[in-house]
Amino acid sequence: MAELIHKTVGTLLDEQAERLLDHEAVVYPEYNLRWSYLEFRNHANQVAKGFMKLGLQKGHHIAIWANNQPEWLLAQFATGKMGAVLITVNTNYRTRELEYLLAQSDTETFILMEGVSGTSYVDMLYEICPELLTSKPGQLKSARLPRLRNVIMIGDKRYPGMFTWQDVLEMGQTISDEELMKRQESLDPDEVINMQYTSGTTGFPKGVMLTHYNIVNNARNIAECMKLTEQDRLCIPVPFFHCFGCVLGTLTCVSVGATMIPLTKFDPGLVLKTVEQEKCTALHGVPTMFIAELNHPDFEKTDFSTLRTGIMAGSNCPIEVMRRVTEDMGIKELTIVYGQTESSPGITQTRADDPLELRVATVGKKHDVVEVKIVDPQTGETVPPGVQGELCTRGYHVMKGYYKMPEATAEAIDEEGWLHTGDLAVMDENGYFRITGRLKDMIIRGGENIYPREIEEFIYQHPKVLDVQVVGAPDDYYGEIVAAFIRKKEGVSLTAEEIREYCQGQIARHKIPEIIHFVEEFPMTASGKVQKYKLREMIAEELKKKKDF
């Protein structure tokens, strides 16, 4: 069992740098960049000193809007050393969402890249802060974002009102190592160091406040379940702005001295190439990423012989995908992690040596140092093994709360310190958990409770189906009926009638989808989660139009 430790993110990195020195810490194949642990620590120190020169104090808020750039990684560990709170910004955000986050979070310093996939982050920021165009760097006075002072552009190009990343590095040269160490030693592991906005599948962003103690210990527990050591090389194609990337990915590597190999953004072909060329022993991803890799033209030509472990998380994994990842990709010790941002994020995890059937059917057992119980959502009473209820957890990993949202915090964490996840689950007599759905996703059709996961698992086994998502659609008679959104495999023809026939006699009649839509893709969060609420909105809108017509 990984004992809980009372250390800051900065101390954790220092210890590994002193222990491992020239061992590879960071590899970016896209930039031909390789840093040892000592080099990585020194770069992080330089950035931390630059932040201090900018006037950032312990507890100040610094937001970053970029994909998995080296600068993102440096900002994560630099803030861990000098005590500013790093606020992660979803790369899919647009103007309105960005303004909300920067205002709600009281961000004082904002780091951004120019943009992604034809979307200009710069234009969006100037739209929100036109004053930037005539401001001196570091002297912004914005009507809509009164707390924002500093804007830092990743890259060399100069923009009105903004510092460049290089400016920050040069500023850091005027701060001594002693000043940084004094600041670092003043930090308390129980202080908030990371704030992540969670909304994704529910639509309303809340700033989750996580401490050094939360995330350092979660990273160590995750590593232990994966049997991760300094000998491992982890490919990280999941976004840093999400807990999956910056806790289960980068921080988990640093917790044991493993080598992190991030990709700036997900590209299935690049993942395959990187795994082979860098001899990766571990790979992270959400199910949709693994599906894309398994179906990539280069899959058969890729050498996966070094792969051993990794994490699949983020959403429910179809059983067939799990089998192919463990058998065809050879990730025999792949672990499934279940959790949420509010729990730093890991709550339960399969172990590297769990038999395949447990790794395909469950999300593992609770981490040793946390408490988990399943309660009746109506009464709050703990239910026995085998009975479905809401999963609740308590321990070191539970967030400090939602930033400036005391009511939402009280709703999520009860008076006894239990975090209510909103997820439905069943625990078996051996302590293994199955996630059976979201409280909010449950479909109630004429009084019958229907859990989408069960129907998705069944339809996914159809040989022509690539992926499937099931939601409830409003219905005047039943209240709700079952709707399925299906992605077909390439080059096949498939009809709604075929799907219904496939279900006939295999699953109960009331569970057979009454509405079937074939789609090219699902609405997704940038971290790879399907936004079911958007699917529900689409179907409700369509049914309303038919009714009106």
pTM: 0.85
In a domain, 147, yes or no: yes
Q: What does residue 520 show for φ and ψ, rounded to 5 degrees?
A: -80, -35
DSSP string, 376-406: -TTT-PBPPTT--EEEEEESTTS-SEETT-H
User: CA torsion sign, 59 to 154 to 130 to 97?
Assistant: negative
Residue 369 has pLDDT above 80, yes or no: yes
- ∠ CA 84-90-91, nearest 5°, is 115
Which among 116, 69, 107, 117 is positioned nearest to 86, based on CA atoms?
Answer: 107
Residue in the structure block whose two tokens are 């234009």: 123
Q: Going by C-beta distance under 8 Å and a sequence separation of 6 or more, which residues neighbour residue 233?
A: 24, 27, 258, 259, 261, 278, 279, 280, 281, 282, 306
In a domain, 29, yes or no: no
Residue in the structure block whose two tokens are 């992540």: 196
Classify strands 192-198 and 85-88 as parallel, antiparallel or unpaired: parallel
* pLDDT of the residue at 533: 85
Q: What is the mean pLDDT of the chain?
A: 93
User: CA torsion sign, 538 to 544 to 548 to 549?
Assistant: positive
Taking the C-alpha atoms of residue 79 and residue 61, their distance in angstroms, rounded to an integer, is 10
Q: In what order do the strands lie in the sheet with 465-475?
A: 465-475, 479-488, 515-518
- 8 A C-beta contact, residue 343 and residue 399: yes
pLDDT in tens, 105-146: 999 999 999 999 889 999 999 999 999 999 999 999 999 999
Structural domain span for residue 537: 443-548
pLDDT in tens, 495-536: 999 999 999 888 878 889 999 999 999 998 877 788 888 999
Q: Which residue among 165, 188, 208 closes a domain? A: 208
Characterize 421-448 residue by residue with b for buried, 16 or more Cβ atoms within 10 angstroms of its Cβ, and e for exposed.
Answer: bbbbbbbeeeebbbbbbbeebbbebeee
Taking the C-alpha atoms of residue 199 and residue 96, their distance in angstroms, rounded to an integer, is 14
Distances from the Cα of 41 to the Cα of 51, 81, 178, 447, angstroms: 15, 10, 15, 58
In a domain, 64, yes or no: yes
Q: State the average pLDDT over residues 73-96.
A: 94
In a domain, 501, yes or no: yes
- ∠ CA 369-373-379, nearest 5°, is 150
Q: State the average pLDDT over residues 344-367.
A: 92
When divided into structural domains, the chain yields a total of: 2
Banded pLDDT at 450 (limits 50, 70, 90): confident
- 8 A C-beta contact, residue 104 and residue 145: no
Q: What percentage of residues in the chain have a pLDDT greater than 70?
A: 98
Run of H or E including 112: strand 109-112
Banded pLDDT at 298 (limits 50, 70, 90): very high
What is the three-class DSSP state of 56? Answer: coil
DSSP string, 176-240: -HHHHHHHHHT--TTSEEEEEEE-TTSS--EEEEEEHHHHHHHHHHHHHHHT--TT-EEEE-S-T
8-state DSSP, 370: S
pLDDT in tens, 178-215: 999 999 999 999 999 999 998 544 446 899 999 999 99
* pLDDT of the residue at 495: 96
In a domain, 514, yes or no: yes
* pLDDT of the residue at 322: 86
Q: Is 490 exposed, middle or buried (0-12, 13-18, 19+ CB in 10 A)?
A: exposed
Peptide linkage before 160 cis (omega within 30 of 0) = no
* pLDDT of the residue at 443: 86
Taking the C-alpha atoms of residue 363 and residue 336, their distance in angstroms, rounded to an integer, is 6
- 8 A C-beta contact, residue 240 and residue 89: no
Residue 282 identity (one-letter amino acid) = A
CATH number, residue 171: 3.40.50.12780
Residue 447 has pLDDT above 80, yes or no: no
Q: State the average pLDDT over residues 376-396.
A: 95
DSSP string, 498-522: HHHHHHTTTS-GGGS-SEEEE-S--
Quick one: tokens of 402? 């939602």
Taking the C-alpha atoms of residue 44 and residue 112, their distance in angstroms, rounded to an integer, is 18
Residue 265 has pLDDT above 50, yes or no: yes
- 8 A C-beta contact, residue 503 and residue 459: yes
In a domain, 243, yes or no: no
Q: Which residue has the higher pLDDT, 369 or 454?
A: 369
Q: What does residue 479 show for φ and ψ, rounded to 5 degrees?
A: 90, -55
Run of H or E including 164: strand 163-164
* pLDDT of the residue at 285: 94
CATH number, residue 495: 3.30.300.30
Q: Which residue among 189, 208, 227 closes a domain? A: 208
Which among 479, 483, 387 is positioned nearest to 433, based on CA atoms?
Answer: 387
* pLDDT of the residue at 203: 47
DSSP string, 245-296: HIIIIIIHHHHHTPEEEE-SS--HHHHHHHHHHTT-SEEEE-HHHHHHHHTS
Which among 470, 475, 445 is positioned nearest to 547, based on CA atoms?
Answer: 475
Taking the C-alpha atoms of residue 326 and residue 324, their distance in angstroms, rounded to an integer, is 5
In a domain, 213, yes or no: no
In a domain, 184, yes or no: yes
Q: Facing residues of 153 across strands?
A: 112, 164
Quick one: tokens of 187? 């930090």
What is the three-class DSSP state of 486? Answer: strand
Q: Which residue among 160, 191, 208 closes a domain? A: 208
